[in-house]
């Protein structure tokens, strides 16, 4: 295998990519060339504008992680970060005070915003930013693409007794950062998704791949929104490459994040097999050829196989790069 494509969210996807690249570099992935190329198609529906700056959380998390600039403790933002700008904005009473941009991180958003204002699309802006972060480490072996150049934003309807409708709609960042996903998500609306189109290179990366991987990212607001870009799902259905996913649900619960809450919102069973069946078998109009569940969910393998998807139970906890590389190796072995 010479070309691998990964549809990624933020922290979970970035961590998986670290292990995948470690596996390629160490020769731990069966049938994968040591100089194999990895293309990452990242979710951009978490993006938003704050303080006049365009912030792309998932793109930046992948970029910083693979470029060795991520804060290893938080798993997001820059290492050795300071927060003077956040403190000064709060002193002025500028909202939102619950979402902070680190001083080092702001530089990325300033550059991105200036380039966007100059008329460059997000895909070209991302390529320019990656010349600092990815090129020195990986050369041309790793490419990061936004799922679309269009403005797409996820919003969540939450209960609000003071509203005439009994609910209010908040941006996904407010739901996740301020509300901590601790209130019910009544509806999820991804604004602009239906009118978007894949960014340049996205469909080619899927159609030209030797393997497509869906890491254990959120199946609703990360991988789910990528699949919602018109043309992406069709490309996954028709590519000659096998498509394998890894369950974000382990032992009946998400490892991190809010997959449980959002799966319930869209009516999907919160289980490893439930998510696999939600993605569906390519043979039945879905997107998967294979699906990995954790060892503790081995009892759900049969239900996935009954849906027409190859399935195996293996350790799915990304405890270190070797463990994560073993997950990637298992995905490859699952589809031969």
Residue 252 clears pLDDT 90, i.e. is over it: no
User: Nearest CA to 315 among 327, 331, 299, 329?
Assistant: 327
Q: Which pTM does this prediction carry?
A: 0.96
Query: How far apart are the C-alpha atoms of 159 and 256, rounded to whole Å?
Result: 23
Residue 163 clears pLDDT 90, i.e. is over it: no
Mean pLDDT of the chain: 96
- For the segment 94-139, what is each residue's pLDDT rounded down to a tens digit? 999 999 899 999 999 999 999 999 999 999 999 999 999 999 999 9
- For the segment 15-53, what is each residue's pLDDT rounded down to a tens digit? 999 999 999 999 999 999 999 999 999 999 999 999 999
- For the segment 55-64, what is each residue's pLDDT rounded down to a tens digit? 999 999 999 9
Identify whether the C-beta of residue 24 lies closer than 8 Å to the C-beta of residue 38. yes
**Predicted pLDDT of residue 128:** 98
Buried b (16+ CB within 10 A) or exposed e, 135-165: eeebeebbbbbbbbbbbbbbbbbbeeeeeee
Identify whether the C-beta of residue 297 lies closer than 8 Å to the C-beta of residue 251. yes
- CB-facing half-sphere around the CA of 214: CA atoms within 13 A: 31
Report all structural domains of the chain as residue ranges with CATH numbers, in order of start: 3-71+120-149+197-334 (3.40.50.10680), 153-193 (no CATH)
**Predicted pLDDT of residue 255:** 78
Residue 174 clears pLDDT 90, i.e. is over it: yes
Helix (H, G, I), strand (E, B) or coil at 131: helix
**Tell me, what DSSP letter sits at residue 70?**
B
Question: What is the average pLDDT across 166-186?
Answer: 91
Indicate the burial class of 126 (C-beta count within 10 angstroms; 0-12, 13-18, 19 or more): buried
pLDDT band at 225 (very low <50, low <70, confident <90, very high): very high
């Amino acid at each position: 295998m010479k070309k691998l494509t990964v549809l990624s969210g933020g922290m979970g996807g970035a961590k998986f990519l670290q292990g995948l690249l470690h596996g390629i570099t160490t020769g731990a992935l069966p049938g994968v060339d040591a100089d194999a190329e990895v293309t990452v198609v990242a979710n951009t529906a978490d993006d938003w504008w704050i303080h006049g700056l365009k912030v792309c959380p998932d793109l930046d998390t992948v970029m910083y992680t693979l470029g060795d600039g991520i804060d290893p403790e938080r798993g997001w933002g820059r290492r050795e970060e300071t927060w003077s700008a956040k403190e000064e904005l709060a002193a002025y009473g500028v909202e939102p005070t619950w979402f902070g941009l680190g001083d080092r991180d702001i530089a990325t958003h300033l550059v991105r915003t200036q380039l966007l204002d100059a008329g460059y699309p997000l895909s070209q802006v991302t390529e320019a930013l990656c010349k600092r972060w990815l090129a020195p480490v990986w050369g041309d072996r790793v490419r990061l693409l936004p799922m679309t150049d269009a403005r797409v934003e996820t919003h969540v309807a939450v209960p609000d007794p003071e509203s005439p409708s009994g609910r209010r709609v908040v941006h996904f960042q407010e739901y996740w950062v301020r509300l901590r996903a601790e209130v019910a998500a009544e509806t999820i609306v991804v604004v602009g998704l239906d009118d978007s189109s894949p960014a340049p290179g996205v469909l080619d990366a899927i159609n030209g791949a030797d393997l497509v991987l869906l890491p254990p990212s959120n199946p609703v607001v990360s991988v789910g929104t990528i699949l919602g870009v018109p043309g992406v799902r069709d490309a996954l259905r028709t590519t000659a490459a096998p498509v394998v996913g890894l369950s974000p649900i382990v032992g009946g619960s998400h490892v991190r994040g809010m997959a449980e809450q959002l799966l319930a919102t869209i009516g999907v069973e919160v289980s490893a097999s439930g998510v696999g069946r939600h993605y569906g078998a390519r043979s039945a109009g879905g997107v998967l050829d294979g699906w990995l569940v954790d060892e503790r969910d081995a009892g759900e393998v049969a239900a996935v196989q009954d849906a027409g998807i190859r399935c195996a139970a293996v350790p799915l906890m990304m405890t270190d790069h070797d463990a994560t590389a073993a997950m990637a190796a298992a995905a490859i072995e699952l589809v031969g």
